[in-house]
Structure 1
Amino acid sequence: MTETLATAPAAADAATLPQSRHLATAIPGPRSQALHAQRQAHVTDGFGVTLPVFIDRAGGGILQDVDGNRIIDFASGIAVTSIGASNRRVRERVAAQLERFTHTCFMVTEYESFTQVAKWLNEHTPGDFDKRTALFSTGAEAVENAVKIARSATGRDKVLVFDEAYHGRSLLTMAMTAKVNPYKLNFGPFPAEIVRTSSANPLRSPAAAQGPESVTAAALAGVEATLAEHGPGDFAAMVIEPIQGEGGFVVPAPGFLAGLRAIADRHGIVLVIDEIQAGMGRTGTLFASEHEGVAGDITLSAKALADGVPLSAVTGRTELMNAVHAGGLGGTYAGNPLACEAALAVFEAFEDGTLLENARAIEAAARAALAPLVQETGLVAEFRGRGAMLAVEFAEPGTLAPRADIAKEVSARCHAQGVLTLTCGTHGNIIRLLPPLVIGPELLADGLQVLRGAILAAAGPAAV
């Protein structure tokens, strides 16, 4: 049965902002251009930008810029504003907390919302075992603290990571991240205890021609070989994204995560599942690892956890989380009360199941519009993903040589027509789709048709 987008509780927040694409000027418009010139005069060039427009209002599936253009949001702030960039309950809870106090530092004096967020995560992250949670501010902090916890609990040093991984921009997480440019370029040297091994990419594995089972078997054999080479008893943790984000929205071949679970158990390695981008309903389940029936010893959350207010979490087995000495975890802003209230509003939004239904309906609509392009063009190598975490990969027919130029052109065509898309992938040859889970069906359909048209136009003679 075809799924349709339901009316989510958060959808009403968009009522004051028309949920339709509108071009008042060329994009970027004159006011955005003037503000961008100011940015260039005052902000480091080290910050990049996907689309140089300045946003004045946002809500539902629309970003409205200072020139009055209404842009369809297929980015959600890189999977952050999943329940909309101006959710009513988030505003209400944060505003009420602002009236009480903005900060005390949870390590100095306590407040209840921190505990409430931890309780919800303990109850909802995968794994039928007793859990504890620590809150931080950013995804990279969550990753680093997971490594600290695993090392403290095991007495080991090494961390196993994977091809096409992305885990953050701090020094340790840069070492864990696979992609060099822009994330690691010129920033070394990096910590030496990080070891990289094969992942199970169904499209690009050397075993792809033999089918998904062979891809999984080859990747798991590679993991075992890497551990044997470096000594499995020296590894504190293996860290894996259930769907790789910046690496290309790669859905691993079936059985890969379960195989990692078995390997980790066999060698006493802590399995850390990085749900920072894929979690919080993005893939049609609360956590993407649920699709594989696998629970990490530690699960990481961030991005959509507090709908744009900085908050991250490390949730794991009690015996691991409590292995760290008192004072060993923390941070001045960790679990800020404003962010905790925002997270509690996010949890409310998931209560009736509508958002998860919407994620699945978004996938169905996108598959109908975009999956046929694999056959209709010679340059779309694959359409893939789960829920509202979807990707179109461009490659040369036959060789699978990455075509970053096509992804760049498609994105530029979409931007000019008022649809915000992002690129990703180790070679920059992938368009990724991350619409808010509250986007309306008509707006989604409009954006998908613009994207489809942009792909056909960029493919040119390669279109069949």
Structure 2
Amino acid sequence: MMRKQFANVKTSLPGPKAKELLERRHDVVPHGVSYGTPTFVASAKGALLKDIDGNQFIDFAGAIGVNNVGHSHDTVVNAVQDQAAKYIHTGFNVMMYDPYIELAEKLAELAPGRFAKKVMFLNSGAEANENAVKIARKYTGRQAVVSLTGGFHGRTLLAMSMTGKIKPYKYEYGPFAPEVYHAPFPYNYRRPEAMSEEAYTDELLKRVEDFFITEVDPSQVAAFIMEPVQGESGFIIPNKTFVKGVYDLCKQHGILFIADEIQTGFGRTGNYFAMDHFDVEPDLTTVSKSMGAGLPISGIIGRTEIMDKAKGGELGGTYCGTPLGCRAGLAVLEVMEKENLNDRAVKIGEKVMEKFRKMYDRFDAIGDYRGLGAMCALEFVKDRDSKEPDKDMTGRVLKKARERGLIALNAGVYDNVVRLLMPLVITDDQLDEGLAILEEAIEAAAVGEKVT
């Protein structure tokens, strides 16, 4: 086993201090609020986490894609401290503030689309997606919205209704919002074995066209909402032909195209926005997560004529576009530019995928590996021929990784995917060590017992 340089687990998890806090947590926090790592953070910097028992971890989770610029980046911390000393909140709809305007200007310039744009800010990704649908309905005068199977768009009522996976997000939480439909999304790894990718894509696009016959008439559809890469479903990457095909169908029928960039945005895939990989220009783009480096803020970027359809007071909320979040967002963009984090994401992705190729050759439990930029994943199966998902193996891998000082996340339609969302500021040494720990964890999990 390699000598650890950054990961340093001094005591089994949870440690004594964490055990005490876990007891208090279970007394006061409901079971529905889950946790992946049975300990509590004491400090975090860059791509490293330290818990209250002195254990140090390499972070390959990034708070589910929130920390692309790393934990507590000095530029972000200084901006937030400076803002807090001036004013914390006035309510943009009561007395406005210039960080909101400056951040809106920058995002309008960076977002895909060679057209005039306007930007509004909210609090969370789910809230951004719900408001994007409101805006689309207001502009088109239509009610229906179409999302894709396997997509994840949030946990509030409409966002949950658009989400394309039942457990744990929707089970026993109905009834759901009406006029929400789900069209097929390509899962290339699990396409019919005898079918080429090209034929598979053509078949799915035909099914989307037929969807307008069997499920909902296109004249009633306000918007399609699509993640450029499906996050919670295991980093499923559509090909350009499918994305452009759906986009063209939207244009043909006067349907707005909403790009959910909440997990894919701000450099994760090697561009500020992942839709740039697919050469489409969304009518509306939703953003959050790494936008604020941990401060709660989200946004909608859209065509001016669409965004302006709503009248005064129809959009907004008490904390929407908080000054602290706006200053954090400006600092994030400053860091991304100065540290060339889009290029860094590409290099991280190349290194991860090369390591994955070697792991694939070594471990039969890996059925597929895939990635776009630094958005990379391993899918575990019981058998490569049958492709039967192995959820238990995934759980063992993550547990073994934690024991060795690496924090990563599960995902997947079948909960059998390990996804990596390491901060883009991670050093090469930290990245190499984290990947080595992941390989050790897979090796240990391959002969391990079931996770309880």
Distance 2:274 2:203 in 1: 23
Q: 1:329 aligns with which of 272, 296, 315?
A: 315
8 Å CA contact 1:27, 1:418 repeated in 2:
no
TM-score (norm 2): 0.96
Residue 446 in 1 paired to residue 425 in 2? no
Task: Work out which of the residue numbers 366, 390, 400 in structure 1 matches 2:352.
Answer: 366
Q: Output the TM-score relative to the length of structure 1.
A: 0.93
Distance in 2 of aligned mates of 1:238 and 1:46: 30
For 2:209, the equivalent position in structure 1 comes to 224
The residue aligned with 1:89 is 75
Task: Say which SS state the counterpart of residue 26 (structure 1) adopts.
Answer: coil
Which of 281, 285, 299 is 1:299 aligned to?
285
**Residue 5 of structure 2 contacts residue 433 of structure 2 at CA under 8 Å; is this kept in 1?**
no
Is contact 2:353-2:376 (8 Å) kept?
no
Contact 1:298/1:314 (CA < 8 Å) preserved in 2? Answer: yes
Instruction: State which of 31, 37, 57 in structure 1 corresponds to 2:23.
Output: 37
The answer to whether the 8 A contact 2:69-2:336 is kept is no
Matched residue of 1:110: which SS?
Answer: coil
Distance 1:439 1:351 in 2: 16
CA distance in 1, matches of 2:208, 2:446: 37
Q: Name 1:52's counterpart in structure 2.
A: 38
Q: CA deviation at 1:381?
A: 1.1
Structure 1 residue 372 displacement after superposition? 2.6
C-alpha separation between the residues in 2 aligned to 1:300 and 1:457?
40
Q: Deviations over 1:359-383 (max 9, x none)?
A: 1111111112122333322221111
Contact 1:213 1:254 in 2 (8 A): no
How does 1:26-425 map onto structure 2 within 5 Å?
26-206=12-192, 209-229=194-214, 230-352=216-338, 354-395=340-381, 396-425=383-412
Equivalent residues of 1:213, 1:253 under 8 A apart: no
Deviations 1:262-313 (A, max 9, x none): 1110010000000000111001111111111122110111000010000000
Map of 1:4 onto structure 2: none
Task: Report the 3-state secondary structure (helix = DSSP H, G, I; strand = E; otherwise coil) of the residue aligned with 1:272.
Answer: strand
CA distance in 1, matches of 2:38, 2:244: 42
Write the distance in 2 (CA, Å) between the matches of 1:332 and 1:220.
41
Contact 1:258-1:294 at 8 Å conserved across structures: yes
DSSP 3-state at the match of 1:382 = strand
CA distance in structure 1 between the aligned counterparts of 2:419 and 2:194, rounded to whole angstroms: 25
| CA deviation map 1:145-169 (0-9, x unaligned) | 0000000000000011111100000
Give distance in 2, aligned partners of 1:119 and 1:431.
36
Q: Secondary structure at the match of 2:264?
A: coil
AA at the equivalent of 2:119: T
Aligned equivalents of 1:410 and 1:403: distance in 2? 11
Question: How many residues of Structure 1 are paired with residues of Structure 2 in the alignment?
Answer: 443
- Distance across 2 between alignment mates of 1:159 and 1:371: 39
Q: Give the conservation status (yes or no) of the 8 Å contact 1:201–1:215.
A: no
Q: Distance in 2 between matches of 1:116 and 1:417?
A: 43
How far 1:460 sits from its partner (Å)?
4.4
Q: 1:19 deviation in Å?
A: 7.5
Q: Secondary structure at the match of 1:115?
A: helix
Deviation at residue 128 of structure 1 after TM alignment: 0.4
AA at the equivalent of 2:190: R
Quick check: 2:9–2:403 contact (8 Å CA) kept in 1? Answer: no
**CA offsets, 1:407-459, max 9 Å, x none?**
11111110111100100011100000000000011111111011112223333
The whole-number CA distance in structure 2 between the counterparts of 1:44 and 1:87 is 32
Partner Cα distance (2:367, 2:318) in 1: 46
Which amino acid letter does the alignment assign opposite residue 241 of structure 1?
Answer: E
Q: Deviations over 1:307-357 (max 9, x none)?
A: 000000000101110011111110100000011000010010122362112
Question: Residue 44 of structure 2 aligns to a residue in which SS?
Answer: strand
Tell me the residue number matched to 1:427: 414
1:37-64 deviation per Cα after TM superposition (whole angstroms, max 9, x unaligned): 1111111111000001100100111000
The residue type paired with residue 412 of structure 1 is K
SS at structure 1 position matched to 2:379:
strand
- Report the Cα distance in structure 1 between the residues aligned to 2:9 and 2:361, rounded to whole angstroms: 32
Partners of 1:178 and 1:37 lie apart in 2 by 34
Output the CA distance in 1 between the equivalents of 2:287 and 2:5: 29
Partner of 2:444: 457
Matched residues in 2 for 1:335 and 1:86: separation? 20
Counterpart CA distance in 1 for 2:224 and 2:445 is 40
TM-fit CA distance, 1:173:
0.7
- Structure 2: which 5+ runs fail to align? none
Q: What runs of 5+ residues in structure 1 fail to find an aligned partner?
A: 1-17
CA RMSD in angstroms, aligned pairs only: 1.4
Distance 2:12 2:447 in 1: 24
Alpha-carbon contact 1:201-1:253 (below 8 Å) kept? no
Contact 1:212–1:254 (Cα < 8 Å) also in 2 = no
CA gap 1:460/1:215 in 2 versus in 1, 3 angstroms: farther
| Aligned mates of 1:239, 1:353 — CA distance in 2 | 32
Q: Partner amino acid for 1:315?
A: I
CA distance in 1, matches of 2:362, 2:258: 39
